[in-house]
Amino acid sequence: MQKSLKNSLYLGLAVLSLGAVATVSTTANAASKAKVTSDVTLKTAAENRNVEATGTNALYSKPGTVKGAKQVASKTTMKKMANSKKSAEYFRAYRVAKTNRGTVYYKVVSMDGKYRGYIYGGKDIKAFAGGIKFADTTTTASMPAKTTGYHLANANKNGLWTAPKNTQYKAKSISLYSANKTDTFTVSKAETKTREGSLYYYVTDDNDNSIAGWIYAGKGYNASATTQSLGGLSLTTEDAVATENNSVTVNYLGANGNSVATKTFVTAVKNTKKDAQVGTDKNINNQTLAEFINDATNTPAGYKVSSTDVTAIANAAVYGGTVRVNVYKAATSTIAFYLPSANGVDAGAQLNAADFAKGKPSITSEQAKALTGDTNTNVVANGKTVTDGFFKTLYSKLLTASSDTTVNGTPVTKGQNYYVTYTYSDSKTATANANVKFGSTIKAVFDAQATVANELPTDAGVNNGSTTNY
């Protein structure tokens, strides 16, 4: 927003209209006091006249050495403002006066309008000096990875501004009268307030480019986060105000029947009435009540909706009413690989990814989702483990026997090459995980068979999945 200036910047002085220099008269008995020989308006771009106090000089109603000058802010106060963390305590310079002693005074006003007066500015009208110096009130910030598809979260709380508040004198809010709640906005610039460090995005309404301005952006968009802290912005549209005629309260209940959290579904359908069935009515995000209930952003953190028929619950809902949805404390299990144990009950020796010809085998994203469940529920149900069907046959790397040996019952002569085929065992995996609950490690058990050969099968270690994140 601003151009960085050095103190040597020419300030572009110009007189007021009519070309007259405003001269302040003094009386004969004030001969010992300085006289103002010129007092003119600064004409350079306003953003190039943002300054901050240095703390070395006080602020006066007139140039400080002129008769009748009264202190507006003491040197102590100006020093505090010099060290301030508030943008409101920056200043805008808008006039410059020069005295017959060759001293320069700038007339300034604080960004919040609280302080206004003259401050000593050195002896050169071409540079800010003495009690003030140029200030970059904002600094350029990194653009977000996502620049489109934003909505206003709450225009009454965080609206658009012509500049981040108090970084420019008389920065003002922008009318959103013609904007709709469904409008999306695009980010084109990003800046932080130098003193506060708060982040702002410059956004433009995609439906009306005359609606554009700076808005507080919280922590900014984070591509890796599951939830966003975006200040005045949102990635979803703002719902209408909830009333008994247009909303349903969703009460999420834990295992003990106590409420874990509540959310409010607000329909986008017009003229709905209390006690009317919600049915397939949708909210402003194009969700039915059932979809709203199942949405992970509405479900309490760390919980998942149980297998209760959410569709039936939603279809029975009425406006002004409350629906109760059971949720469970959820946790995600990891998978480790094992050989069978000698006793056939526990898992035996653990296998590492390095033991397999092509490393850790992949599974599908849908299979990975099955690893998340109720922390009170066993990963084995009806003799079936959630990992059944995850893995194809796996193979070891091609190995060379260092001595005569027997590998899983197969004799191998010293110097011979061999590999091991690992085959997933449903029954042995179920036995090894009889007491394992979701959130704990699942032991996937593999039977092993050695084969003497000089090369691996062409498909050794191949899996059809898309993720190894488990």
pLDDT tens, position by position, 377-435: 999 999 999 999 999 889 999 999 999 999 989 999 999 999 999 999 999 999 999 99
> What number is the average pLDDT over the span 253-268?
91
Single-letter amino acid, residue 177: Y
Structure confidence by residue, pLDDT tens digits, 103-159: 999 999 999 999 999 999 999 888 899 999 999 999 999 999 999 999 998 888 889
pLDDT category, 1, cuts 50, 70, 90?
A: very low
Expressed in angstroms, the distance from the first to the final Cα of the chain is 46
Picking from 290, 296, 322, the residue whose alpha carbon sits closest to that of residue 309 is 290
pLDDT category, 224, cuts 50, 70, 90?
A: confident
Number of structural domains found in the chain: 4
2 versus 118: the higher-pLDDT residue is 118
pLDDT category, 238, cuts 50, 70, 90?
A: low
* From 36-40, 57-61, 170-174, 356-360, the region with the lowest mean pLDDT: 356-360
What is the model's pLDDT at position 406? 94
Q: Which residue has the tokens 């049915």?
A: 279
Does the pLDDT value for residue 252 go beyond 90? yes
Structure confidence by residue, pLDDT tens digits, 161-206: 999 999 999 999 999 988 887 889 999 999 999 999 999 999 999 9
What is the model's pLDDT at position 225? 77
Same domain membership, residue 340 and residue 445: yes
In a domain, 218, yes or no: yes
What is the model's pLDDT at position 309? 84
> What number is the average pLDDT over the span 25-43?
72
In a domain, 458, yes or no: no
Instruction: Check which CATH number belongs to the domain holding 167 and give it.
Output: 2.30.30
Same domain membership, residue 380 and residue 321: no
Would you state the structure tokens that stand for residue 164, as one six-digit string? 């981040």
CA–CA separation, 92 and 87 (whole Å) = 11
Decide which of 78, 106, 134 is a domain's last residue.
Answer: 134
pLDDT category, 462, cuts 50, 70, 90?
A: low
What is the model's pLDDT at position 2? 44
226 versus 190: the higher-pLDDT residue is 190
Contacts of 23 (CB under 8 A, 6+ apart): 36, 37, 38, 39
77 versus 307: the higher-pLDDT residue is 77
Same domain membership, residue 326 and residue 341: no
In a domain, 6, yes or no: no
Compute the C-alpha angle 251/254/257, nearest 5°: 80
Question: Would you say 253 and 245 are in contact if contact means Cβ atoms under 8 Å apart?
Answer: no
pLDDT category, 237, cuts 50, 70, 90?
A: confident
* 309: containing domain: 247-330
In a domain, 5, yes or no: no
Structure confidence by residue, pLDDT tens digits, 338-375: 999 877 667 789 999 999 998 899 999 899 999 999 99
Picking from 59, 20, 61, the residue whose alpha carbon sits closest to that of residue 38 is 20
Question: Would you say 357 and 393 are in contact if contact means Cβ atoms under 8 Å apart?
Answer: no
Does the pLDDT value for residue 15 go beyond 70? no
What is the model's pLDDT at position 268? 86
Dihedrals φ, ψ of 432, to 5°? -70, -20
Same domain membership, residue 179 and residue 130: no
Structure confidence by residue, pLDDT tens digits, 130-144: 999 999 999 999 999
What is the model's pLDDT at position 345? 63
Same domain membership, residue 169 and residue 276: no
In a domain, 470, yes or no: no
Would you state the structure tokens that stand for residue 77, as one six-digit string? 């106060």
Decide which of 81, 100, 134 is a domain's last residue.
Answer: 134
Same domain membership, residue 348 and residue 296: no
> What number is the average pLDDT over the span 322-347?
88
Same domain membership, residue 102 and residue 164: no
Single-letter amino acid, residue 460: A
Same domain membership, residue 219 and residue 171: yes
Does the pLDDT value for residue 234 go beyond 80? yes
In a domain, 2, yes or no: no
Question: 42 to each of 106, 111, 266, how far by Cα in Å?
Answer: 9, 17, 54
